[in-house]
Amino acid sequence: AQKVTQAQTEISVVEKEDVTLDCVYETRDTTYYLFWYKQPPSGELVFLIRRNSFDEQNEISGRYSWNFQKSTSSFNFTITASQVVDSAVYFCALSGTQGGSEKLVFGKGTKLTVNP
Amino acid sequence: GAGVSQTPSNKVTEKGKYVELRCDPISGHTALYWYRQSLGQGPEFLIYFQGTGAADDSGLPNDRFFAVRPEGSVSTLKIQRTERGDSAVYLCASSPGLVETQYFGPGTRLLVL
């Protein structure tokens, strides 16, 4: 069975602080995909990143960076110099590649509040 | 281009009634997914389609829930004899094919009184 754990339920920071959102996953698939989505107060899930299990290179996109460590089954997300507009619920998700496993399995989300 | 659209955005119904929720995927996307999100939780998978056929309906909670995609584009999620516990946000997503990134619509917020 696949499982995603986001242990941090809520995080509150002050603007310009760096913040890391943790994600730990479980899967028996040898090939799988990991995702992060952002859900602002408006409610729509916004895609941020997709990584496959064979690509452990860290990725940076502007103020966002992702650290994928297969050895610890983690895919953490860091926001550098946070801004008020980063306030949202962030979801980590996992999908497999075996038949019938294309569905996304989500964690419970981390609510990030960035205060001015 | 246009994203995934869902109608209605909000639906209030009474216990026992029948409801239909519609999803219009991104043009050209062959895979379509339905999820349900309860308050304070992550989305949970219900069903997905590849083309017209339901490839995996293992997430449908019971036989009151049914979904169709007759022409391989628009999909309708149907809920019979609604119960208060069905209240949630129903999310639809589409992707260009299997094992590709899923793009989500704004959701339909269903409230069963």
Residue (of A21, A12, A20, A17) closest to A87 by Cα position: A12
Averaged pLDDT for residues A1-16: 95
> Tokens 């920071």 correspond to what residue?
A13
A36-46 per-position pLDDT tens digit: 999 999 889 99
CB A114 within 8 A of CB A99: no
Give the one of B33, B35, B101 whose C-beta lies nearest to A50's C-beta: B101
Considering only CB atoms, which chain B residues are within 8 Å of A10? Answer: none
- Side-chain half-sphere of B87: how many Cα atoms within 13 Å? 10
Instruction: Give CA A20 to chain center in angstroms.
Output: 10
Task: Report the chain B residue with the minimal C-alpha distance to residue A47.
Answer: B103
Considering only CB atoms, which chain A residues are within 8 Å of B48? Answer: 102-103
**Res A101 pLDDT > 80:** no
Distance from CA of A43 to the nearest CA of B (A): 7
Give the one of B33, B48, B99 whose C-beta lies nearest to A97's C-beta: B99
**Res A100 pLDDT > 60:** no
Distance from CA of A70 to the nearest CA of B (A): 20
Give the one of B40, B44, B99 whose C-beta lies nearest to A102's C-beta: B99
pLDDT score at B78:
98
B16-55 per-position pLDDT tens digit: 999 999 999 999 999 999 999 999 999 999 999 998 989 8
* A103 touching chain B per CB within 8 A: yes
H/E segment holding residue A27: none
In sign, the C-alpha dihedral spanning A4, B101, A29, B36 is positive
**Res A33 pLDDT > 80:** yes
Distance from CA of B104 to the nearest CA of A (A): 6
The rounded mean pLDDT for chain B is: 95
Distance from CA of A20 to the nearest CA of B (A): 19
Residue (of A22, A36, A26, A31) closest to A2 by Cα position: A26
**Res B107 pLDDT > 80:** yes
Q: DSSP of chain B, one letter per residue?
A: ----EEE-SEEEE-TT--EEEEEEPPTT--EEEEEEE-TTS--EEEEEEETTEEEE-TT--STTEEEE-TTSS-EEEEESS--GGG-EEEEEEEESSTTS--EE---EEEEE-
In sign, the C-alpha dihedral spanning A50, A52, A57, A58 is positive
Instruction: Give CA A103 to chain center in angstroms.
Output: 16
Burial state string for A2-40 with b = 16 or more CB within 10 A and e = fewer than 16: bebebebeebebeeeeebebbbbbebeeeebbbbbbbbe
* A32 touching chain B per CB within 8 A: no
**Res A99 pLDDT > 80:** no
* A62 touching chain B per CB within 8 A: no
